Amino acid sequence: STNSQIKANPGHNPSSVQNAAGTQSSLASEIAYARQKIQNFLKSGDAGIDSGSCTLLNRLETVEKEQAIMQQALVKLSSDMAMVLSKLSIVEKFIKQQGNNQVKDVVSVPQKEESKKTVQNGSSAAADDDDDVDLFGSDEEDADAAKLREERLQAYANKKAKKPALVAKSSVVLDVKPWDDETDMKAMEVAVREVKCDGLVWGASKLLPLAYGIKKLQIVAIVEDEKVSIDWLQEAISDIEDLVQSVDIAAFNKL
């Protein structure tokens, strides 16, 4: 059975296994011959059974057991080799199939590109035929396209005109200083906020210590650059002569 399993796998060289099997068979024959000879010798009356003969028989039995174990190992080895060869055959078939698929893909790609070019050429040829037949339709289409373009441009211009223009603004922080510590700072703030014009919005304000118990009014003004001049604003506040001693710009930022 071992030899038949090995022969069933193509590409396998069974010479090593056959040599091992022949060696095992020869060894078994020699052991059987020696065992029979010893038994015949013991049965004859020419020699008595002694401990040496028993020891020899025991050794022969041990050799026979080892030979049986080797035979089992040889059978298992043959089975394992048959399994490995079977798996190798499956792997070879898979690799061969993958190679064929790659060749098909390489061949199919140029065919697809060629068919695509054929379709494009056919489409362009059909378009050329249409151009040859329609002699007056192109002028009408050009007029319609120009009209549509003009309408879209006009719609875009109207939309842009309706969009409010970006107004440039600035944030100005003013320091308004009084004449002395007896100046009514609340009245000063009211007077400053009464300075009004288009594009001017007053913001937050606070009192800050200046010196010798005198405080100054710091106030924020948001102005539109095209409508309000900072110089004009300073002069308008300075005109409040009863309460204001001077006006300085503490900070100026574009918005």
When pLDDT is averaged across residues 75-103 and rounded to a whole number, the result is 85
Residues 6 or more apart whose Cβ sits within 8 Å of residue 209:
215, 216
Query: If pLDDT is split at 50, 70 and 90, which confidence band does 8 have?
Result: very low
- Say whether pLDDT at 47 is over 60: no
- Say whether pLDDT at 228 is over 90: yes
Q: Please tell me the distance from the alpha carbon of residue 230 to that of residue 235, in angstroms, as a whole number.
A: 9
- Say whether pLDDT at 188 is over 60: yes
DSSP letters, 138-152, are HHHHHHHHHHHHHHH
- Say whether pLDDT at 160 is over 90: no
Query: If pLDDT is split at 50, 70 and 90, which confidence band does 122 have?
Result: low
Cβ contact 31:60 at 8 Å:
yes
- Say whether pLDDT at 146 is over 90: no
Position 10 scores a pLDDT of 44
Domain ranges of the chain: 35-96, 169-254
Record the pTM: 0.38
- Say whether pLDDT at 202 is over 90: yes
Position 55 scores a pLDDT of 78
What average pLDDT does the chain have? Answer: 78
When pLDDT is averaged across residues 171-198 and rounded to a whole number, the result is 94
Q: Looking at the structure, give the CATH architecture of the domain made up of residues 169-254.
A: 2-Layer Sandwich (3.30)
Q: Please tell me the distance from the alpha carbon of residue 188 to that of residue 176, in angstroms, as a whole number.
A: 9
Phi-psi region of 139 (alpha: psi -120 to 50; beta: other; left: phi over 0): alpha
Burial 233-246 (b: 16+ CB within 10 A, else e): bbebbeebeebbee
Q: Which two tokens stand for residue 106?
A: 């390489």
- Say whether pLDDT at 65 is over 80: yes
Percent of the chain with pLDDT over 70: 68
Position 36 scores a pLDDT of 79
Position 5 scores a pLDDT of 41
CA angle 248, 249, 252 (to 5 degrees): 175
pLDDT tens digits, 92-113: 888 888 877 765 555 455 555 5
Element (DSSP H or E) covering residue 72 = helix 51-133
- Say whether pLDDT at 49 is over 70: no
- Say whether pLDDT at 239 is over 90: yes
CA angle 92, 95, 98 (to 5 degrees): 150
- Say whether pLDDT at 68 is over 60: yes
Going from the C-alpha of 41 to that of each of 36, 54, 55, 57, the distances in angstroms are: 9, 12, 15, 12
